[in-house]
Each structure stands twice: as C-alpha cells, then as structure tokens.
Chain A
C-alpha cells in the first residue's frame, strides 16, 4: 500500500468529536422538550445534521481525503435525496 498521503488522525481528535456528539445529543433531547411548534422538527433535523457532519468529516475521514471527488459525490447524493423528498411535497403539500 503506497498511498499514505494523509497523516494518522490522533486519538484525541476522535475523543473530542465523540464528546461533542454526546453533548449535541443532550441538546437535542433538551430542545425537544420545549414546545416550539413546527420549529421543533427543524431544530431536531438541524442538530442531527451537525452531528452527521462531525461523523462524516472526522470519523469517516472526509476532512482528510485528498480527492475532492469524495466530497462532491456526497453532495450530489444528498442533493438527490433532498430532491426526492422535496419534490414529493409539491404534491403532498398542496392537495
């Protein structure tokens, strides 16, 4: 194996990310106990997205990938999923 281009990620980085993730989990639960109406679901999704970003960038090494294609492809996949959900709502929202 000749491609060791990116440095070995220190253990500490992962532990810090994990602690952040636990913290965000606590925040999610706390926020969900407050009645914000429709805002609740968006808050939950927003925090989940931040947690996901942490997992993807650090645990899954996306931050350390030299090839930009990885990030671009992920964006494409997310965009397609967003379109699938979003365009369905053109129907569901206006019936």
Chain B
C-alpha cells in the first residue's frame, strides 16, 4: 500500500488550523445575520437582551476562559513530561466544559419555562426584532453548545490518551490540536457574550 507513515507535526497542525477556519466561517454565517438584524432592529435587540441572564452569561465567559487556561497549560505540561499534571489539567478542562453546559441548561430551562423559545406563542407576540433576536440566540448558542460538548469529549479523550501513553512528550500533536479546537470554542463565545448579553 502506501509508504511507512511519516509524522509531520507541522502539517498536522496546519490541517487543524484549516479546519478551525471552516468553523470560523460556519459561525460567521450566523454573525452575518446578527449584524444585519442588529442594524435593522437596534432597540428591539437591546430590549430582548435584557431578558437574558447576564450573571450566568458572565460566569460562562469566565468558565470558558479558565478552561482555555487549563488546556494551554496542559500542552506545556505534556512537553515537560508531566503525565499526571497533564491529565489533571485536561480533566479540569472537562469540568469547565460540563459547568458551561450545566449553566446553559439552567438558563434555557428558565427561558423556555417563561415561554421564550422558537415559534412559541409568547415569542410570536413580541415585536419582530425580538423574535429574530431569540431565533438567532437559540441557533447560535445551540450550535456553540454543541461545539462545547464535542470539545469536552475531545479533552476527556486526550486525558485518557495521556493516561495510556498514546499522548506523550514526543508525540502530543493530538492534544495540541484538541486544544486548538477548544480555544476556538472559547473564541466564538468571546464574541457571543457581548453581542447577546451586553446590548444596551
């Protein structure tokens, strides 16, 4: 078949960055819609934003940033040969992901409990700009939440790989690439947070 596999660390990272660009553009489409509708309904967007839970939103921001810290640290840790430290940091990252999803569950339960969800009778009574705001809110944050879930699973897998020695100081590109994915999830939220929670 093909020649013995050669490892190309830089090539693997390059491929991952290219994949991240596709994620950037995927969310970008939703930001295109947001930009246009914000321009069209500034007042209604601001009014709708008031109904979001700023506290939980801010908490989630801090949670994701901390998760990114832990994951970044884990790459340095693995390069130092600190197998246990690496695992600990990665599991820490997993915890932040789960906390984020828990918060999201609490937030959405409350909002859905108040009858605010796509195509709900209550939402459909609101001004058009608010209907659009919440439509974008659920789609964008839902898609983001799905990525948080995927990222959390990836980090857990990397923690297990570190435990079993698949990932180690001389071959850690899987970990680094998983880290890149996790940071992307953080990056998207860095923009989501002010655009959805902080409008005035």
Interface residues, chain A, CB within 8 Å of chain B? 1, 3-4, 8-11, 14-15, 17-18, 21-22, 25, 28-29, 32-33, 35, 40-41, 44-45, 47-48, 51-52, 55-56, 58-61, 65, 67, 69-70, 73-74, 77-78, 80-81, 84-85, 88-89, 92-93
For A58, what are the chain B residues with a Cβ–Cβ distance below 8 Å? 72
For B17, B72, B171, the residue with the greatest tally of chain A CB atoms inside 10 Å of its CB is B72
Cβ-defined contact, A92 with B194, below 8 A: no
| CB nearest neighbor in A for B195 | A44
The answer, yes or no, to whether B110 is at the interface (CB within 8 Å) is no
Bound-state CA distance A8–B190 (Å) is 26
Within 8 A of A (CB), among B172-200: 172-173, 176, 179-180, 183, 186-187, 190-191, 193-195, 198-200
Q: Which of B6-14, B100-108, B117-125, B132-140 contacts A (4 or more CB under 8 A)?
A: B6-14
Bound-state CA distance A89–B36 (Å) is 7
CB distance from A51 to the nearest CB of B (A): 5
- By secondary structure, the B interface counts as helix
**Chain A-chain B contacts (Cβ-Cβ < 8 Å), number:** 125
CB distance from B24 to the nearest CB of A (A): 6
Cβ-defined contact, B72 with A1, below 8 A: no
Cβ-defined contact, B17 with A73, below 8 A: yes
Partner pick for B187 among A8, A55, A92, A93, CB 8 A cutoff: A55
Beyond A29-B198, A55-B186, A88-B32, 14 additional pairs, beta carbon < 8 A? A1-B7, A1-B9, A9-B76, A10-B76, A14-B76, A25-B61, A29-B54, A60-B180, A60-B183, A61-B176, A65-B13, A73-B18, A84-B32, A92-B40
For B193, what are the chain A residues with a Cβ–Cβ distance below 8 Å? 25, 28, 48
For B14, what are the chain A residues with a Cβ–Cβ distance below 8 Å? 67, 69-70
Bound-state CA distance A15–B176 (Å) is 18
For A41, what are the chain B residues with a Cβ–Cβ distance below 8 Å? 38, 195, 199
The answer, yes or no, to whether B170 is at the interface (CB within 8 Å) is yes
Partner pick for A22 among B62, B173, B199, CB 8 A cutoff: B62
Nearest 7 A-B pairs (CB), nearest first? Answer: A32-B198, A44-B194, A18-B69, A77-B21, A59-B72, A81-B28, A1-B170
Cβ-defined contact, A8 with B79, below 8 A: yes
Bound-state CA distance A69–B80 (Å) is 27
For B195, what are the chain A residues with a Cβ–Cβ distance below 8 Å? 41, 44
Partner pick for A1 among B68, B73, B171, B200, CB 8 A cutoff: B171
Q: Mark B15-35, 1 if CB is under 8 A from A, else 0.
A: 001100100110011011001
For B9, what are the chain A residues with a Cβ–Cβ distance below 8 Å? 1, 3
Bound-state CA distance A35–B200 (Å) is 7
